[in-house]
């Protein structure tokens, strides 16, 4: 993945593309490949399963907190 090419293809500046690629790098989804840009990391099925388990737990917690806030707002706090 080359930042310049992707930015041009998407019709955006390089900055948001660079930011997105660095976020993906921090998450271990892409790796820097020198002057060639970034490469997508091969994910193994176990890592994907773990990511979905974490996402499920976070989503469940977010729903629980939102429901609690909605009840508090409905009761007039």
| DSSP-derived secondary structure for 5-68 | HHHHHHTS-HHHHHHHHHHHHHTTSEEE-GGG-EEEPPPPHHHHHHHHHHHHHHHHHHHHHHHH
Task: Note whether 49 and 34 are same-domain residues.
Answer: no
Residue 36: what pLDDT? 80
Residue 73: what pLDDT? 87
Task: Note whether 50 and 70 are same-domain residues.
Answer: yes
Task: Note whether 5 and 36 are same-domain residues.
Answer: yes
Q: pLDDT tens, 14-73?
A: 999 999 999 999 988 899 988 788 999 988 899 889 989 999 999 999 999 999 999 888
Give the other-Cβ count within 10 Å of 68's Cβ: 10
**By residue range, what is the domain housing residue 21?**
1-42
Q: Is the pTM of this model over 0.75?
A: no
Give dist(CA 33, CA 39) in Å, integer: 6
Task: Note whether 52 and 70 are same-domain residues.
Answer: yes
Residue with tokens 């976070």: 58
């Amino acid at each position: 993945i080359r930042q310049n090419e992707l930015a041009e293809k998407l019709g955006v500046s390089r900055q948001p593309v660079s930011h997105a690629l660095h976020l993906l790098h921090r998450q271990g989804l892409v790796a820097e490949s020198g002057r060639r840009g970034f490469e997508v990391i091969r994910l193994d099925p176990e890592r994907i399963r773990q990511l979905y388990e974490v996402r499920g737990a976070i989503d469940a917690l977010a729903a629980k907190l939102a429901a609690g806030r909605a009840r508090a707002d409905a009761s007039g706090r």
